[in-house]
Amino acid sequence: MAALSGVGDTNRRLVVRGVVRAPGDKSISHRSLIFSALAVGQSRVRALLQSADVQATARALRAMGAGIPPLGADIVINGIGADALRSPREALDCANSGTTTRLLAGLVAGLAGRRARFEGDASLSRRPMRRIAAPLRAMGARIEFEGPEGHDGLPMSVTGGALSPIAWDNPHASAQVKGALILAGLASGVAVEVREPARSRDHSERMLAARGVAVDVFDGGVRIAEAQHVQPLDVDVPADPSSAAFFTALAALADEGELRLTDVCLNPTRTGAFDVLVRMGVPLRIEDERVVGGENVGTVVVRPGQLSGMHIGGDEIPRCIDELPLLACVATRAQGETRITDAGELRVKESDRISAVVENLRALGADAEELPDGMRIVGSAKPLQGHVTTHGDHRLAMAFGILGALPGNHITIDDPECVAVSYPTFWSDLARVVGPVSPTNAVTSTHLVIAIDGPAASGKSSTAQWVAQRLGVRHVDSGAFYRALTYLALHSNVEPERWDESELLTHAPRVGQRMTERSVLPSVDGAAIDAPLRDRPVTEQVSRVAQMPLVREWVNAQVRHAAEASDVVVDGRDIGTAVFPRATLKVFLIADPWERARRRLVQRLGRQPDDPEIAEETEALVARDALDATQSAPARDAITIDTTALTQEEQVDRIVALARATRRSAT
């Protein structure tokens, strides 16, 4: 099986280069919408995260009458203040978002006479809400659960009241609980104090202070006085450190290169994963550090390092809680043992991240074990291969996506689309950073690779198939990989007009490789898929898909991977140049346009075409040649065969003879 960039065996080197601006911080994005709705007047939010979780918050606020416009990179919110918010007419669908649920439950609790029912997807409905229900009830709100006795998950109804002030000792560090109580206090005008055993992320405190609220942060907690007014604010949302962490890890595990992650939120309550990586041995430095809207922001510059296993635990856990699945994946590549402890909270995140991470690591062949409050991983250089079940958890999909991008690992992922929760463009950003294989790190396969290239309708595909058969090696059908991606995109709910590289590559981790006796073909979700790839809707869309550069990179990576497992004949554009600069034999087939047009029509019509038909087709082909000029240049060491006067059998004979001669001279 192959993953997004399932690019090969351990001969290949991963070189990363480039700049990534991860999308806006999720925690800050939620809060910028909610606090802007509470302020009377105009707030502006730039670089907002436009992901499924933030959409859930926006939808819920709109349902309560707040003026939240359609989300964009730069939006203006005309806040109406808490008093003007009303009960939503229908249940609030919080989808997968715990932050939406807990923060907005706090808000509704503080709005006397207002009531809302909260619903969510299966994952969210399993998450505990008693942690907010208990203090909100203690303040005087009514919270009802519908499930069996003792069940504290969604659906949940919250009825607001005239609340009493509260001083709450929270047994865990939780920014969601803290945020819920602060919102309840602000909405009902009462004082709130929250104490925590360790410091949880403090974005609410920082943003409220910037909005004129008197926030008293003391050792062990925070206090907000009664009767505070929230003012409008212009917010520049920094890049999410939890999203940037994926690329930090990728650069740390690469063989060569450097990544620069810009505008990253470096709030000290969020930078635990960077600290852990540095302790593990990653050369990571911060540049251009500055303060933007009360948050520290900077560029994280990362290079590959020699990593050692670590203990991650104690007060450090809340500072890297969302990155622990990723750090566990990184630990599989570190020398020695990594232990994560004091992280029982992982069991109640979007999935039980202790059991899900360990189960997947083991399925891939890694040495991992569950602990009651964490996990233990022993690193090795062993390739990791297999299929990942994400349980719909975005951070699992991305953490394993990073592992899958490493040379030698071949990982498919069941639900890559779930990254939409926090990082919708993750897969295309990954493809861009992993980038093309340069001649310096090209595959040095020990296998035979026959690369057949040529202009449109030169007959390269059918000739390649026949050559493979005659030589008894596999034909790699690169076109089928473009078709697999097209097929998956057609089965998504996104209209073809809205397809771009980012959308298409979202589906890539579902595509694996299947070896038959004669060919290497794509599989989808681990199963064979042949006939549907030839369906008409796929055929109609595939050429557009195949023109997108990052999609081409992905298919090229698939083809290279196939060549690392067995002898192959491959046909397609760029095959002898970009894809296999070191192929055993490179053949470039040319033919007079008239003859190519005739062959294409015979194939299409199943009869001999007449001259006017050929003339028309020739014109189209010449135009296509001009468009393709950059792609179809032969490699300098390619052998060009003019097939104008050759039958297909004669072409195949020649290539087979050349292949045999090359093989002989190589041995």
Nearest CB to ligand S3P, comparing residues 158 and 545: 158
What is the nearest approach in angstroms of ligand S3P to the Cβ of residue 119? 19
What is the nearest approach in angstroms of ligand S3P to the Cβ of residue 233? 18
Phi first, then psi: what are they for 655, rounded to 5°? -65, -40
Which amino acid belongs to residue 527? A
Nearest CB to ligand S3P, comparing residues 27 and 458: 27
CA 556 to chain CA centroid, nearest Å:
20
Phi first, then psi: what are they for 30, rounded to 5°? -55, -50
Instruction: Let me know: does 400 contact 360? Beta carbons within 8 Å.
Output: yes
DSSP sequence for 568-626: EEEESTTIIIII-TT-SEEEEEE--HHHHHHHHHHHHHSSPPPHHHHHHHHHHHHHHHH
What is the nearest approach in angstroms of ligand S3P to the Cβ of residue 230? 17
Identify the H or E element spanning 385: strand 385-388
What is the nearest approach in angstroms of ligand S3P to the Cβ of residue 364? 25
What is the nearest approach in angstroms of ligand S3P to the Cβ of residue 422? 8
Active site residues: 322
What is the nearest approach in angstroms of ligand S3P to the Cβ of residue 157? 21
Instruction: Let me know: does 237 contact 32? Beta carbons within 8 Å.
Output: yes
DSSP sequence for 448-506: -EEEEE-STTSSHHHHHHHHHHHHT-EEE-HHHHHHHHHHHHHTSSS-GGG--HHHHHT
What is the nearest approach in angstroms of ligand S3P to the Cβ of residue 321? 5
Residue 46: other Cβ atoms inside 10 A = 15
Peptide bond into 155 cis (omega under 30): yes
In sequence order, what are the residues at sequence separation of 6 or more whose Cβ sits closer than 8 angstroms to the Cβ of residue 309? 280, 331, 334, 335, 336, 337, 338, 339, 377, 378, 379
Which amino acid belongs to residue 304? P
Nearest CB to ligand S3P, comparing residues 210 and 633: 210
In sequence order, what are the residues at sequence separation of 6 or more whose Cβ sits closer than 8 angstroms to the Cβ of residue 431? 4, 5, 501, 505, 508, 550, 553, 554
Nearest CB to ligand S3P, comparing residues 275 and 345: 345
> What is the spatial distance between Cα 623 and Cα 617, in angstroms, rounded to a whole number?
10
Phi first, then psi: what are they for 413, rounded to 5°? -130, 135
> What is the spatial distance between Cα 584 and Cα 445, in angstroms, rounded to a whole number?
10
Question: Which residues are near ligand S3P by CB under 6 A?
Answer: 27, 99, 174-176, 179, 200-201, 321-322, 345
Provide the 8-state DSSP code for 386: E
What is the nearest approach in angstroms of ligand S3P to the Cβ of residue 28? 8
